[in-house]
Structure 1
């Protein structure tokens, strides 16, 4: 008897990757949705005996979706597929009723084991069955609308989605390391992608309090025609809590602040770039990290350090915050305008 499978992810690339990685001989109808609200509607309409669910999504994220499934008594079996791989994320989704947890990108081998455990029926080797399966895999996946600003500069709209997705997976590795070091839960929003004039970078940043004092570290990277800088902006109000979590005792003097700043930068920037290298099959050479400024406004930091380097930048911004503690920072990946063509070439293999 045929089974219905629902794939819920805001990334078109992620949905297609997961569908392609599923076993080819499943007796299943596969459909797609882009956020938790759409998933709940589909589940209540009878689609999705098995739900593959992302965690980091707009409108309604994976945690909220799991809570609603539990509250409404929906009987679907949920497998979380996420770039957020920190221990507390895995623990939470299992407590909310998920049947399993898979890190992105999901491999065919891992999905085959999950499908076997869930007893999803298989088709025979009849070519007609395989044709029907191919049709079912395409059902309802109409994609996510691209960012209109970035679309003006990037060759294909699907690539904007791909930039978000590969960054989401990379920062998931970074958040995992930070969460393990501090024994905390790190909140991660969906990355924001813009290709803009560098002079407009300050306006593009999603800061709730633009006058708050910050400190910043920058680290350059280059490889395979791609050049850029990783910029970590650390809220000064975070020093006390993060120093305590990292085992520092006594007063937080200027030397301790620099040490904390360097430690956090090494974790987040290093892990994020490593995650990008793995997905894009390249190697970055990295410069030594530099402190750009301390106890300044975000506008002062960016105005002093970015405007003379290049005119346009592909800016990808990710905000990190720690649940229950006053720890916040932003990681920006700033690629030169000339790097976009090389990035598109690499990303093209993932998109197509």
Structure 2
């Protein structure tokens, strides 16, 4: 069987490794990898991607940009999008730009085989085990930070899909920022991101399976009225507060459920609590500085397309959670 050049284009080492290992055991591919859209586009121009497994959320150039460029340059490539952004509008846009199929992360091997078969690649649709790691050359090394960023990326996409349906808008997704921070560094990060703005913040605790932490959702006061209009919410303070608590439950709950599902744990969620209203970030930090010590911090900023509205989500895991998280991620990586 002649080999087919297949390109895996994703900024995450974890995602590329999972995808390569999800390929059917009788794979007829010559595999190349790209870590962002620009790199992927160049590889395609060089003939390394007759079939492309393409992520949407990437630095340099995202997957939508790659698809648009392929069309603009008339490059004949079969693209299967594999993404954590599972919004209906993301699927529609990707297919409108020429993607032949859309698979949500993490990719199911059978769905991947079906998508490849639909391209004319003759692969039996069985649940035969994927090829062992040693069958592939150049599998990327996956660090804890990269693995956790990818798991968070998938959970973030689930939350965006639900938020987008509630608000009736397309949610633009960032690349999650994952860092282990000392308390002073966390305060500096928060203060630098929100300098000079007045904020309202909702906190929700979570615990389970040896993992615990707090999710902090920060709303910019200047944007709350616009969100209220989207939801036809009354403009009195109590109605707005109830709206913020409802949004926090949606965003935080969906994100934590996405993490629970991937890590195979049950995270019990507390009730959302108001940490501060209409206050500068410095006050929010001062009020709550005893809550946050050394922590694994994940920063996510959801933006609403064509609107000056965004929500900042921080997932703050306790230092004691790190060993258990490493154990869970090591199992997923290997």
* TM-score, structure 1 as length reference: 0.89
C-alpha deviation, 1:298, in angstroms: 2.1
Please name the residue that 1:71 is paired with. 72
Q: Equivalent residues in 2 for 1:258-273 (5 A)?
A: 258-273=241-256
- 2:302 aligns with one of 298, 320, 324: 320
RMSD of aligned alpha carbons? 1.9
**Which residue of 2 is the match for residue 99 of structure 1?**
100
Structure 1 ranges of 4+ moved more than 6 A: none
Match of 1:225 in 2: 210
Aligned counterparts, 1:84-163, within 5 A: 84-121=85-122, 135=135, 137-139=136-138, 141-142=139-140, 158-163=143-148
Q: 1:207 to 1:114 in 2, by over 3 A?
A: farther
Which moves more between the two structures, 315-324 or 56-65?
A: 56-65
Does the 8 A contact of 2:160 with 2:251 survive in 1? yes
Secondary structure of the residue that 2:323 maps to in structure 1? helix
> What does residue 220 of structure 2 align with?
235
The 5-angstrom pairing of residues 40-59 of structure 1 reads 40-59=41-60
Where does residue 147 of structure 1 map in the other structure? none
- For residues 40 and 327 of structure 1, what CA distance do their matches in structure 2 show? 31
Contact 1:237-1:326 within 8 A present in 2 as well: no
Which one of the candidate residues 198, 216, 219 is aligned to 2:201? 216
In 2, Cα distance between equivalents of 1:134 and 1:48? 22
| C-alpha deviation, 1:199, in angstroms | 2.1
Partners of 2:16 and 2:140 within 8 A in 1:
no
- Equivalent position SS for 2:57: coil
Query: Deviations for 1:289-309, whole angstroms, at most 9, x for unmatched residues?
Result: 11000111223212311x212
Distance 1:242 1:329 in 2: 10
Deviation at 1:282, TM superposition (A): 0.4
| 1:275 corresponds to 2:258 | yes
**Do the aligned partners of residues 122 and 321 (structure 1) sit closer, same or farther apart at CA in structure 2, a change above 3 Å counting?**
closer
Higher mean C-alpha displacement, 233-242 vs 114-123 = 114-123
CA distance in 2 between counterparts of 1:73 and 1:243 reads 44
User: How has the CA–CA distance of structure 1 residues 122 and 108 changed in structure 2, closer, same or farther, with 3 Å as cutoff?
Assistant: closer
TM-score (norm 2): 0.93
Structure 2: unaligned runs, 5 residues or longer: 125-130
Aligned equivalent of 1:190 = 175
> What CA deviation, in whole Å up to 9, does each residue of 1:29-69 have, x standing for no partner?
11111100110111011001010000111111111111111
1:257 equivalent in structure 2: 240
Corresponding residue number in structure 1 for 2:281: 298
Structure 1: gaps spanning 5 or more residues: 124-129, 144-156
Distance in 2 of aligned mates of 1:96 and 1:207:
38
Q: In the alignment, which residue of structure 2 is the partner of 1:351?
A: 333
Q: What's the CA shift for 1:206?
A: 8.6
Deviations 1:204-226 (A, max 9, x none): 24965511111000011111111
Structure 2 SS opposite 1:227? strand
Q: Deviations over 1:101-143 (max 9, x none)?
A: 11100101101111111111459xxxxxx89x965x324x545
- Structure 2 distance, partners of 1:205, 1:78, is 39
Aligned to 1:127: none
Distance in structure 2 (CA, Å) of the matches to 1:219 and 1:282: 18
